Amino acid sequence: MIKNKILSYDVDNDGIALITINMEDHPTNLFSEDFMKAYFDITAKAIADDTVKGVIVASGRRMFMAGADLKMLEKPIEDPEVFFNHAMELHKRMRHIETSGKPFVAVINGHALGGGLEVCLACHGRIAVNSSRIKIGFPEIKVGLLPGGGGTAKAPYLMGLQNAMTYILQGVEARPDKAKKDGLIDVLVDTPEELIPAAKKWIAEHPSPVQPWDNPKHKIPGGGLFTPSGAQVMMGATGNVQKITHGNYPAAQYILSVIHDGIQVRIDRALEIEARYFTKAIMSKEAKNMIRTGFIAIQEARKGKAKPAGYDPYKIQSIGMIGAGMMGAGIAYVSAKAGIQVVLKDISIEGAERGKDYSRKLVQKRISRERMTQEKADELLDRIHTTIDPTAVKDVDMIIEAVFENPDLKAKVTQETEAVLGEDKIFGSNTSTIPITLLAKASKRPENFIGIHFFSPVDKMPLVEIIVGEKTNDRTISGAIDYVVKIGKIPIVVNDSRGFFTSRTFGTYCAEGGLMLEEGVPAAMIENVAKAKGMPVGPLAVTDEVSLTLGMMVYESDPSPDKDPDMTRFYELEKKLVKEYGREGKKNGKGYYDYPKGGKKRLWPELSKIFSSDVNTLDKETVGKRLLHRMALETFRCYEEGVLRTTRDGDIGSILGFGFPIYTGGALSYIDYIGAAKFVAECKDLEQCFGSRFAPSDALRRLAQSGQSIHDFKLG
Amino acid sequence: MEAYIYDTIRTVRGKGNKKGALNTITPTYLSTLCLKEIRRRNDLDPTLVDDVILGCVTQVMDQGSNIAKTAAIKSGYGDHLCGVTLNRFCGSGLESINQAAAYVKSGFSELLLAGGVESMSRVKMGSDGGALFLDPSVALPGHIVPQGISADLIASKWGYTRNDLDAFATESHRRAVVAESEGRFNSRISVVDINGVVVLERDENIRPGTSVEGLSGLQPSFQMMGEMAGFDAVAIGKYPEVEFINHVHHAGNSSAIVDGAAIALVGNKIAGEKMGIKPRAKIVSIAIYGTDPTIMLTGIGPATLKALGKVGMKPSDIDLFEINEAFAAVVLRAMEHIGIEQDIVNVNGGAIAMGHPLGATGAMLVGTVLDELERRDLSTGCITLCIGGGMGIATIIERV
């Protein structure tokens, strides 16, 4: 018996060794450097020991292994050759197990993901508990990587080209029954207790197993690459990968390349190819960005990293939800789902009930998809109490107001509510456009007043923008974050400003799209270049979604005397389309696009005549820069002005709030992604050609000169 | 030194499927048939010619192992006859003649046989694998799409409608029917079997009575691939000004898949004196041109202008054009680019009517235009084809 902080090892009387992975110092088992050392030392020992007939690899934790230790992968890599050699060393150790002639069986009691699954693939047999809570797959693509522990090279032998590509490219996390059907798992058992007996049986039946990739008689399911079906699969994969990634996510191509280049040669050479591409992927800016922002920063934000220090958790057992419109109904649902009692108030009981109907519909959907039991659904609905009585919220822990965007109405609601609300309770306003400091003027307790800006649809959008008014205190900020964390969403904290961070920055995207259209860039080009750069929706389509009339309203409601001339130009454009042509947006079926009933939306053909569109107006690189550089500049301005308190919030807010592409790391990391010096030089060019909105600020120029990452740069 | 075309021979074309007339005839046999016929027609002393250049695209199975040398062995010319097979995709047959012309003009050869062959019914298009479409490190950054998507992209970008294309296709058939009925194809031979029995004596794919109405019922060929395999988006990624790909090409307005072979006898003046025959035409200029691989099929216009420019000619100096009808939109775009009207283009129909045996077509078109220049007693012809991967090729000939 051997036991250390990573694993334990014991050989039974029947000569079967059991390795139980239990990484005591970690929240779960992770594929880390410590793990590799301990694991391969012990497997080598088992192989060398003639009395050992077979080896079972098990987990002592709820998960088998959750994947790689991303903090290990985040470390900068200086020398690709050194990294490549490390990767090859890993392959060598795994191949030692595979070619030992001794049966190794992985028994999978919980998630086996990424490196965890690769540990299993380097065993000869894989037995899993057939539980719907267990996920098996390769999530590496989500952080810009590919399976680098042999998974990419080996999976096609087990699953065929098509399935291997689907699993790895999409980061499929399959239940054990599906994973068995697709070839990743050999045996299913019903309970964890059956794992070891089943493994012993498997070992008895396979005394000297050979891996499929070492067996010359093994046929790749569905055929190899140079077969009619294989070629079709590979071609279709290249088309769809390009369609989805637009070349912005290099790991996707690397995955296809490892399979393409590797499947034609023996496994040991294929692993070299995998190691080469893994090295290339891990050194890519895209992977670094996706690990830093997409994984680590978002995970930390989800846990409430933004909380000011020194405050106890704010008690949130109940909230008062004022306004049961679309936003209020959504907020009521996500709160009730998190176990919070919700008093849902509207001006009519019908209105409040309609708001609750939203939750009724959503739970029905979840029940029909077997995601929720009737019992849980009933409990959730029981937590939502509809009312028209303003005093019904007197005992709640927090208020969220989501009435119509009218300062007078909001002021009335604030006063009416504060009259009955506990004096130490937080009052949150879900405004998306009106400054919090302005709304807080109606409050007797502005220090308790805060913006809690949800995105629509509330149940799907993960981000919540917390807006700090002039007088909002840290206790209130801390409490608001506690609430957001409790409902499982991701908070960013911003200081008050018109449009806050997300709406303000996103507005520049819509405006820049409109301005280019006005200048004669074909509408399709604007939309398609935006998508090719990684934006989920083009600026014109998204303006249609929110409607051109709303854009006009936001502009008109801004009382500032000296408005940005370019925003005025955009306003005039919207006004022209609305007033002269009746193009209000998707809501009336006529915006930049036509919305034929039952058909796909198509750009309104008249646009090209009205604006004399010409394909040679601008090249596509410039179109792309005008969209993304513009948003990055505005984000940097928000950071400089103190609207954003941290670079991370700028990154997270841009990615989750308006779909800024994650390969860039977010709208501030984007400056690093382009290179600050290059970014500034390009902005100067854009300023020359298109106006002062592209002018880089002094702070930005200093950043460029400093050679620092934006995350290390000190503004003041 | 000048390079002359002394003669050209092409087989009739059989439908390139398992029911096609030439499905039972191997590509080596088709090639040999042309070699034997050109020797017979010219009473050629086989020792005067030392090499066969054959264009062939899908060089596997029947067409693997250097089919040019294989046909040379079978041809009976003698052991001295060498063979080389080349692949410039759809431009292969013309490329062979151009290379032969270059050998002759350089003085390194006196007389060669050059042409091409493709049995698309026996060797499936695309069955040779290759990195262009399959290697992700090429296909992804290059925005590589199947040709049909490129053709539909051309139609979408320049606004050719389904009706435009179907009208063009209908005209191709109408002209081919007239040409066939008037016996205009002088250099064309029937395919006979080993017993001398005729297997096919007319181009099998021509459909008399083809009409725009008749074609209008055909389903687009590349819509599924464009949408399901993501290729529409790949093309738009390169051409963002195109809002969506209009899938207007179908089996009836794209080139037909067929079997066939063609050969030309190319040599210098001395070779003609030795053979005792007069040349039919002089090769005046040749050119190739590379384009973006995504749109792929727009090389015809620039290649033609390049070939003309090399010898100080203008499009108006050309009496007849043969522009390969790979897809209807390709020819419409090429005519616009060059600035010519349809009345001097493919006057006896093209590949939409008669088919496009990939490696052979370029050589076939040389014969087609030469036959017609002689029949009309005109002087200059231009043969040009679009080519996979983003290329165009053009050759200008002049009767002597």
What CATH class is the domain A2-283?
alpha beta
The pLDDT, as a whole number, for residue B197 is 97
First to last CA, chain A: 59
The torsion angle over the Cα atoms of residues A531, A533, A534 and A535, rounded to 10 degrees, is -60
Q: Is A279's Cβ below 8 Å from some Cβ in B?
A: no
- Measure Cα distances from B320 to B297, B323, B343, B366 in Å: 21, 10, 9, 11
* β-sheet bridge partners, residue B149: none
Residues 6+ apart with CB under 8 A from B146: A235, B133, B222, B225, B231
Mean pLDDT score, B281-303: 98
B382 is catalytic: no
Which of B90, B173, B250, B337 is catalytic? The answer is: B90
Strand partners for A81: none
What span, in angstroms and rounded, lies between the C-alpha atoms of A176 and A166? 16
For tokens 């106006």, the residue is: A691
d(CA B246, CA B249): 9
Q: Inter-chain contact A241–B230, Cβ cutoff 8 Å?
A: yes
Task: Please tell me if residue A244 touches chain B, with a CB cutoff of 8 Å.
Answer: yes
Q: Which residues of A touch B228 (CB under 8 A)?
A: 236
pLDDT confidence tier of residue B379, bands split at 50, 70 and 90: very high
- In this predicted complex, what is the ipTM? 0.93
B136/A contact by beta carbon, under 8 A: yes
Could you report the per-residue pLDDT of A311-363, keeping only the tens digit for each? Answer: 999 999 999 999 999 999 999 999 999 999 999 999 999 999 999 999 999 99
Virtual torsion, Cα A356, A357, A363, A368, nearest 10 deg: 170
Other CB atoms within 10 Å distance of the CB of residue A518:
17
Distance from CA of B148 to the nearest CA of A (A): 14
| φ, ψ (nearest 5 deg) of residue B191 | -100, 125
Render pLDDT for B309-318 as a digit per residue (tens, 0 to 9). 999 999 999 9
Q: Which runs of E-coded beta strand occur in A489-596?
A: 490-495, 593-594
Q: What is the mean pLDDT of each run of 10 residues along chain A (716 residues)?
A: 97 97 96 96 97 98 94 85 97 98 98 98 98 96 97 98 97 97 98 98 97 96 91 94 96 98 97 98 96 93 94 95 96 97 96 97 93 94 96 96 93 95 96 91 96 95 96 97 97 92 94 98 98 97 95 87 90 97 95 94 97 97 98 97 96 97 98 98 98 96 96 92
User: Which pTM does this prediction carry?
Assistant: 0.94
Task: Judge if A2-283 and A318-496 fold alike in CATH terms.
Answer: no
What's phi and psi for A301, nearest 5 deg? -65, -40
H or E element, residue A129 = strand A125-129
**Do the Cβ atoms of B384 and B303 come closer than 8 Å?**
yes
The CA-atom distances, in angstroms, between A1 and each of A8, A12, A330, A668, B398 are: 7, 10, 55, 52, 92
- Is B356 labeled as catalytic in the residue annotation? yes
- pLDDT for res B149: 98
Q: A507: which 2 tokens?
A: 């507005």
Contact state of B237 with A226 under an 8 Å Cβ cutoff? no
pLDDT at site A557: 83
For the segment B105-137, what is each residue's pLDDT rounded down to a tens digit? 999 999 999 999 999 999 999 999 999 999 999
- Return the pLDDT at A436: 95
What is the b/e burial string over A146-184, where b = at least 16 CB atoms within 10 angstroms of the residue's CB? bbbbbbbbbbbbbbbbbbbbbbbbebbbbbbeebbebbb
Which amino acid appears at position A343 of this protein? V
A253 and B136: CB-CB below 8 Å? yes
Question: Among B179, B189, B195, which residue's Cα sits nearest to residue B348?
Answer: B179
Q: Which residues of B touch A261 (CB under 8 A)?
A: 135
Query: What mean pLDDT comes out for the span B189-215?
Result: 97
The per-residue DSSP string of A319-345 comes to EEEE--SHHHHHHHHHHHHTT-EEEEE
Name which of A231, A243, A528 is nearest B230 (Cβ-Cβ). Answer: A243
CB neighbour list of residue A687: distance below 8 Å, 6 or more residues apart: A693, A694, A695, A696
List CB contacts of A476: < 8 A, sequence separation 6 or more.
A426, A447, A448, A449, A450
Residue A670: its pLDDT value, please? Answer: 98
In this prediction, residue A432 carries a pLDDT of 84
Strand-by-strand arrangement of the A136-137 sheet: A112-113, A136-137, A173-174
User: pLDDT for B216-274, tens place per residue?
Assistant: 999 999 999 999 999 999 999 999 999 999 999 999 999 999 999 999 999 999 999 99
pLDDT of B86 > 90? The answer is yes
- B159 in contact with A at a CB cutoff of 8 Å? no
Per domain, the residue ranges of chain A are 2-283, 318-496, 502-619
B61 and A CB contact within 8 Å: no
Question: Cβ B141–A260 below 8 Å, yes or no?
Answer: no
- Which CATH superfamily, name and number, covers A318-496? NAD(P)-binding Rossmann-like Domain (3.40.50.720)
pLDDT in tens, B56-83: 999 999 999 999 999 999 999 999 999 9
Does the annotation mark A86 as catalytic?
A: no
Residues in chain B: 400
Q: What is the DSSP string of A630-651?
A: HHHHHHHHHHHTTSBS-HHHHH
Name the active-site residue from A91, A111, A453, A629.
A453
User: Which pLDDT score is estimated for B382?
Assistant: 98
Asked if A274 is an interface residue toward chain B (Cβ–Cβ < 8 A), one would say no
Does residue A343 contact residue A396 with C-beta atoms inside 8 Å? Answer: yes
Q: What is the pLDDT of residue A576?
A: 97
For the domain covering A502-619, report its CATH number.
1.10.1040.50
> β-pairing, B14-15 with B258-267?
antiparallel
Contacts of A620 in chain B (CB under 8 A): 240
Helix axes A250-262, A267-282, angle to 10 degrees: 170
Radius of gyration of chain B (CA): 20
Cβ distance A237 to B240 less than 8 Å, yes or no, reads no
**B234, closest residue in chain A (CA to CA):** A243
Tell me: pLDDT of B103 over 90.
Answer: yes
Instruction: Enumerate helices (H) and strands (E) in chain A, giving the number of each.
Output: 29, 20
